[in-house]
Amino acid sequence: METQSQLNYHRIAEAIEYIKTNFKSQPSLDELAEQVHLSPFHFQRLFHEWAGTTPKKFLQYTSIEHAKKLLKDKQATLFDTAFETGLSGAGRLHDLFINIEGMTPAEYKNGGNNLSVSYSFAESPFGNLIVASTPKGVCYMAFNDNEANALNDLKQKFPNATFLRKLDLIQQNALFIFQNDWSKLPEIKLHLKGTDFQLKVWETLLKIPMGQLSTYGNIAEQIGNANASRAVGTAIGSNPVAFLIPCHRVIQSSGNIGSYMWGNTRKTAIIGWESAKTDITL
């Protein structure tokens, strides 16, 4: 049976999917509320509580024209200016607090043999997720509403590791990212299993500022291989840590949102949520 939080997420997700499909017609508040069987007043309140902005503004944030504008605007934004001058306060970029440590070749080759992995389940604004860690850092985070399937996916990543269901400090620090107040966000360590190329791509993703977007081509250029867009896309699609490594901030050069391992609706929701958060911070 769904919890109220899960029900609310699915309602908002349905509304976002409707916005994605019908943004050109600029659906009204009444029309959106009707889609999820809520009164306009209740829907407006629930949407603002969940996304941090109104449905009308969210519609603007998630439109294709907004995505194109973000891609073409190379000038410093108010958010960037505030950050550079130390005025960003609680909205400071969480990316700067994330460091990647790659697994050793032996750890990578043997599928986590002798590796101890702790894991736990949690709720987020974008649905339920599983988060896992080694003593060195977060090794896995994924959105999944089914705990059994989530655990099975984790074990496939590290077939020879030992697993313990336990919420540790490393995982707690990572989950703080979903809270509204980031002023006391601790440093987050990631312990990732990947090739040198994948690690380089994932590190580059961490440099995309919150509230902004990049393209596969731009990422390829930043890692020094402008012709590797397809390989970059494959590496992004292999990202083992949802949200913390912001693969959701990479879209197609045309401005289309593109695919996402954990669902295009969720990707649209996260992009709009981050845009709303940076807008509200200012």
What amino acid positions are annotated as catalytic residues? 247
Q: Supply 42's token pair.
A: 């209740």
Residue tagged 């999944």 (tokens): 144
Strand partners, 187: none
Angle formed by the axes of helices 40-51 and 4-22, nearest 10°: 100
Question: How far is residue 161's CA from residue 116's CA, in Å, rounded to a whole number?
Answer: 6
Question: How far is residue 130's CA from residue 235's CA, in Å, rounded to a whole number?
Answer: 21
Rg of the chain on CA atoms, in Å: 19
Strand partners, 121: 130
Count CB atoms within 10 A of the CB of residue 219.
25
DSSP 8-state assignment for residue 241: B
Sign of the torsion angle spanned by Cα atoms 225, 230, 233, 238: negative
Strand 116-124 relative to strand 127-134, pairing: antiparallel
If residue 11 lies in a helix (H) or strand (E), which one and from where to where? helix 4-22
Q: Supply 81's token pair.
A: 């200016």
Q: Supply 172's token pair.
A: 């707690």
